[in-house]
């Protein structure tokens, strides 16, 4: 075992574990969400994290598509979460600007977990891709091996 394969396995394991917990958080959010108030935003707020583990399972078929989908989920979740945060702070009168609200949203634990899954999946893709290209180079240089 090389350091690259250990690191790749570690990245995939952490991404899988985090995506499972993010999906569980999404399921719990559905249970306690008030869908009568702003149904679309609240549904998306629950659905984006709920899809994390199924998207991770897709990575066994195509890691590249899984990475893309995780980044789309993370960006969508950030947008919806920020809209809900903005709605709350504007109703209560303590908003300090859109950028500040988005940055505060990024500090939420669920938001950080969603982005962590995307980052670990991207790291796994980069590690796997670099390893394959080196193996292909060896085959070209040493065709007998």
Q: What is the pTM of this model?
A: 0.83
CB neighbour list of residue 135: distance below 8 Å, 6 or more residues apart: none
What is the per-residue pLDDT for 38?
A: 82
Q: Is the pLDDT of residue 134 over 70?
A: no
Q: Is the pLDDT of residue 1 over 90?
A: no
What is the per-residue pLDDT for 13?
A: 95
CB atoms within 10 A of CB 128: 17
Structure tokens at 43: 């549904």
What is the per-residue pLDDT for 34?
A: 84
| pLDDT tens track for 79-121 | 999 999 998 888 888 888 889 989 999 999 999 999 999 999 9
| pLDDT tens track for 43-81 | 999 999 999 999 999 999 999 999 999 999 999 999 999
| pLDDT tens track for 14-48 | 999 999 999 999 999 999 988 888 889 999 999 99
- Percent helix, strand and coil across the chain, each rounded to 5? 85, 0, 15
Please state the domain extents for the chain: 3-141
What is the per-residue pLDDT for 93?
A: 85
């Amino acid at each position: 075992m090389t350091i690259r394969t250990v690191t790749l396995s570690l990245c995939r394991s952490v991404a899988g574990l985090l995506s499972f917990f993010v999906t569980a958080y999404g399921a719990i959010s559905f249970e306690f969400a008030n869908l009568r108030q702003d149904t679309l935003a609240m549904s998306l707020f629950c659905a984006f994290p709920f899809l994390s583990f199924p998207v991770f399972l897709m990575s066994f078929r195509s890691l590249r598509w899984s990475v893309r989908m995780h980044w789309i989920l993370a960006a969508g979740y950030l947008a919806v979460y920020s809209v809900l945060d903005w709605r709350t702070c504007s109703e209560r009168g303590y908003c300090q600007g859109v950028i500040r609200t988005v940055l505060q949203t990024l500090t939420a634990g669920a938001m950080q977990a969603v982005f962590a899954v995307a980052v670990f999946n991207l790291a796994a893709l980069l590690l796997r891709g670099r390893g394959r290209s080196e193996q292909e180079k060896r085959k070209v240089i040493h065709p007998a091996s």
